């Protein structure tokens, strides 16, 4: 429990700072950090625990965003039920999809997930009912139900904090459970796991659905706050890669890793974009960093720390 | 009406041959190394720019093909030793990410140097007219060059000692090593050839369509669809897959909006993966 309690403590401290200082710029930064943490932790369930490389995971974020956006815009639903519906819908899509594509292993699965993301993006881009390529904008009246845009933004912030805490708790309990052990058995050797009586297809599908639930909710919050949604930003393949980057940087298969990875990544990215010298080159530099991690630190920052300082192992899960 | 159809089918076949060439590169890399090359698109784009600058210096892009091919082999071998050699036996995630990081590097650098403004190679080689059907000369030459390169690749794989070693490594790396084949050299060479094919395909596409540094991504995704159609690791399958995709792409746009083409392509991709993951013509290198 120690490893979980300090993580939650850290999240609450990070989350509380903008609330106390009422610093708007800081709130935006923390909002993005929280979103990255939640996305990376979600992906970690399928990528880190189960060992299935979901390259197009952002599709669930986009689907969640669209579901919530349409619900709020067309039926005047409140963001909280809309967010929950969006998450459940994403999880349901992942469950049905998983029944099919999780039969594929390794690289085939990775390609299929890219395919799913691109197919959904192309479909939405061509559906005029959901705004097509231009996307949809909120009617400004939407926010009046929450006491104006300013209140709506703060509400989004609280919701993002709540979802992020929920994701971390869920990933910690999954890792400690029999379910989590089953997932890790699949990662290590799927055939052996089957032989030992793990119901692998059920486990994989559930893990995939769980890893899609939170991105759906995060997409709902993000696009509610954003005020508009378009296919290009909702299904951006680069965001999928960013999620993988964060998980790898922090250490895949751990609970602390994706969180650390997300914070470090956001800082690196912020630094590169702001710095005059690196602004234009930030993609190239991210590439070099990613390559260095893959080649020399395959288990990420947390794996590295755990190897070098055994005393910390009890605290970093 | 019939003319329009014939026109689309011929265009489809010619473009399909070029797509097939890029896909053969991807397929070869997968077959020999079991690596999904996510930097394929970046190298396709690099090929486009190489052709552009050769043309700017007065060299005909078609005569530049050997230069681009050679450059591709050198770059590919370099990338192999920098990014892949250390992790060739690691789980797929590592090689997926390391090739992806190469792609980020090239695209990041390319965006910095060339921005994302479209470029085009302004080359005219006339056109061929039969009745009401007119086919652009650039497409015809691109198709012919693709066929020639594919034949040369086959001669290399089946008639030369090194080519046979490549096939042996793709069948069983350990056994090949035991038979005295220097597998590191073969892996590096295969990656080099794969990249060279990608860059050449890029150069040929650049003579037909305008391009930016980001254009490679589209063709990379097409290469995936093609490889899956033809069976990953099967060069001849990739060629057939390319033809199928080229024809589908050109014929269905007569009936439905162009924007929906990716949806159809990827639906086919996922469907084929699910029904027959070894591809419609599954086989070995």
- The distance of B237 to chain A (nearest Cα, Å) reads 17
Question: Are the CB atoms for B216 and B44 separated by under 8 Å?
Answer: yes
DSSP H or E segment with residue A100: helix A79-101
- Asked if the C-beta of A28 comes within 8 angstroms of chain B's C-beta atoms, the answer is no
Nearest neighbour of B270 by CB, restricted to A101, A252, A287:
A101
Number of H helices, E strands in chain B: 11, 2
**Average pLDDT value for residue range A273-294:** 82
Q: What is the pLDDT of residues B7-17, one digit of tens each?
A: 888 889 999 99
- Written as six digits, the tokens of A76 are 């005047």
- The yes-or-no verdict on residue A203 having pLDDT over 80 is yes
- Indicate the Cα dihedral angle B134, B138, B139, B145, nearest 10°: 140
Nearest CA in chain A to B268: A115
Residues across chain A: 317
Q: Using pLDDT thresholds of 50, 70 and 90, give the confidence band for residue A285.
A: confident
A53·B96 Cβ contact <8 A:
yes
Domains (ranges, CATH) in chain A? 2-314 (1.10.3470)
State the pTM of this model: 0.87
**Residue linked to tokens 């993580």:** A7
Question: A219-255 pLDDT, tens per residue?
Answer: 999 999 998 999 989 998 878 888 988 998 898 889 9
Contact A79, A235 (CB under 8 A): no
Question: Which pLDDT tens digit goes with each residue over B112-159?
Answer: 899 888 999 888 877 888 777 788 888 899 999 999 999 999 999 999
The predicted-structure confidence for A113-150, as pLDDT tens digits, reads as follows 988 898 899 899 988 888 888 888 988 788 888 888 88
Q: Which residue has the tokens 């609280």?
A: A158
| pLDDT at residue B79, as a whole number | 96
pLDDT tier, B281 (very low <50, low <70, confident <90, very high otherwise): low
* pLDDT for residue A193: 93
Chain-chain contact of A118 with B266 (C-beta, under 8 angstroms): yes
Indicate yes or no: CB of B270 within 8 angstroms of CB of A286: no
Mean pLDDT check: name the lowest of A47-51, A219-223, A285-289: A285-289
Q: How far apart are CA B175 and CA B114, in angstroms?
A: 46
Instruction: Note the pLDDT tens digit of each residue in B25-74.
Output: 999 999 899 888 999 999 999 999 999 999 999 888 888 999 999 999 99
Residue A100: count other Cβ atoms within 10 Å of its Cβ.
Answer: 15
What torsion, rounded to 10 degrees, do the Cα atoms A61, A67, A69, A72 define?
A: -140
Candidate from A51, A104, A115 with C-beta closest to B266: A115
Q: Which of A127, A273, A295, A299 would you mutate first to test chain B, the one with the most B CBs within 10 A?
A: A295
**A16 CB near a chain B CB, below 8 Å?**
no
Beta-carbon separation of B274 and A104 below 8 A: yes
How far, in whole angstroms, is CA A233 from its chain's centroid?
15
- Please report the pLDDT score of residue B282 as a whole number: 54
Taking residues A258-262, what's their average pLDDT?
93
Is A115 an interface residue toward B (CB < 8 Å)? Answer: yes
Q: Which residues contact B49 (CB under 8 A, 6 or more apart)?
A: B110, B114, B119, B206, B213
Between A274 and A134, the more confident residue is A134
Task: Give contacts of B 219-248 with A, CB under 8 A.
Answer: 221, 224-225, 228, 232
pLDDT tier at B186 (50, 70, 90 boundaries)? very high
| CA diameter of chain A | 58
Question: Which 3 state secondary structure label does DSSP give B281?
Answer: coil
DSSP class per residue in B189-222: HHHHHHHHHHHHHHHHHHTTS-B-TTTHHHHHHH
Give A51 to chain B, closest Cα distance, Å: 9
User: What rounded mean pLDDT belongs to chain A?
Assistant: 90
Q: Which of B20, B5, B95 is nearest to B245 (CA)?
A: B20
């Amino acid at each position: 429990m120690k490893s979980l309690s300090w993580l939650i403590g850290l999240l609450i401290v990070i989350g509380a700072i903008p609330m106390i200082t009422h610093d708007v710029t800081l709130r935006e930064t923390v909002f993005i950090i929280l979103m990255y943490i939640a996305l990376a932790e979600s992906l970690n369930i399928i990528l880190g625990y189960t060992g299935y490389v979901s390259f197009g995971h952002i599709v669930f974020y986009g689907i969640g965003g669209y579901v919530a956006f349409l619900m709020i815009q067309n039926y005047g639903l409140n963001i909280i039920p809309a967010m929950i519906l969006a998450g459940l819908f994403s999880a349901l899509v992942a469950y049905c999809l998983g029944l099919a594509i999780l039969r594929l292993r390794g690289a085939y699965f990775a390609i299929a997930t890219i395919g799913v993301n691109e197919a959904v993006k192309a479909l939405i881009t061509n559906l005029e009912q959901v705004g097509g390529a231009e996307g949809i904008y909120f009617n400004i009246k939407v926010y009046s139900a929450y006491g104006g845009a300013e209140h709506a933004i703060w509400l989004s912030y609280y919701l993002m904090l709540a979802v992020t805490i929920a994701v971390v708790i869920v990933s910690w309990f999954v890792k400690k459970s029999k379910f989590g052990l089953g997932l890790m058995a699949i990662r290590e050797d799927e055939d052996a796991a089957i032989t030992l009586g793990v119901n692998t297809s059920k486990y994989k599908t559930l893990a995939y659905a769980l890893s899609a639930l939170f991105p759906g909710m995060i997409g709902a919050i993000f696009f509610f706050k954003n005020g508009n949604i378009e296919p290009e930003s909702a299904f951006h393949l680069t965001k999928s890669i960013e999620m993988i980057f964060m998980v790898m940087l922090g250490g895949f298969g751990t609970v602390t890793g994706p969180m650390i990875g997300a914070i470090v990544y956001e800082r690196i990215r912020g630094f590169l974009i702001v710095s005059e010298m690196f602004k234009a080159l930030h993609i190239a530099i991210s590439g070099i960093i990613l390559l260095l991690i893959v080649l020399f630190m395959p288990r990420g920052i947390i794996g590295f720390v755990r190897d070098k300082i055994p005393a910390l192992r009890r605290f970093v899960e | 009406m019939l003319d329009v159809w014939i026109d689309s089918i011929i265009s489809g076949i010619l473009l399909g041959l070029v797509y097939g060439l890029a896909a053969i590169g991807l397929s070869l890399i997968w077959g020999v190394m079991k690596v999904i090359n996510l930097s394929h698109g970046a190298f396709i784009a690099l090929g486009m720019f190489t052709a552009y600058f050769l043309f700017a210096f007065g060299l005909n892009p078609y005569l530049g093909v050997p230069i681009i091919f050679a450059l591709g082999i050198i770059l590919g071998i370099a990338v192999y030793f920098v990014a892949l050699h250390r992790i060739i036996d690691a789980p797929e995630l590592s090689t997926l990410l390391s090739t992806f990081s190469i792609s980020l590097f090239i695209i990041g650098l390319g965006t910095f140097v060339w921005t994302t403004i479209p470029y085009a190679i302004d080359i005219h080689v006339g056109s061929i007219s039969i009745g009401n059907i007119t086919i652009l000369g650039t497409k015809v030459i691109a198709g012919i060059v693709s066929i020639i390169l594919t034949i040369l690749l086959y001669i290399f794989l089946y008639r030369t000692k090194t080519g046979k070693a490549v096939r042996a490594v793709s069948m069983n790396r350990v056994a090949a090593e035991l038979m005295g084949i220097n597998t590191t050299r073969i892996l590096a060479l295969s990656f080099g050839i794969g990249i060279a094919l990608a860059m050449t395909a890029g150069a040929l596409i650049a003579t037909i369509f305008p391009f930016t540094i980001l254009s490679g991504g589209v063709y990379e995704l097409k290469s995936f669809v093609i490889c899956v159609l033809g069976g990953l690791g099967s060069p001849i399958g990739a060629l057939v897959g390319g033809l199928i995709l080229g024809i589908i792409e050109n014929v269905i746009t007569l009936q439905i909006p162009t924007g929906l083409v990716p949806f159809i392509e990827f639906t086919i991709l996922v469907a084929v993966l699910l029904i027959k993951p070894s591809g419609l013509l599954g086989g070995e290198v």
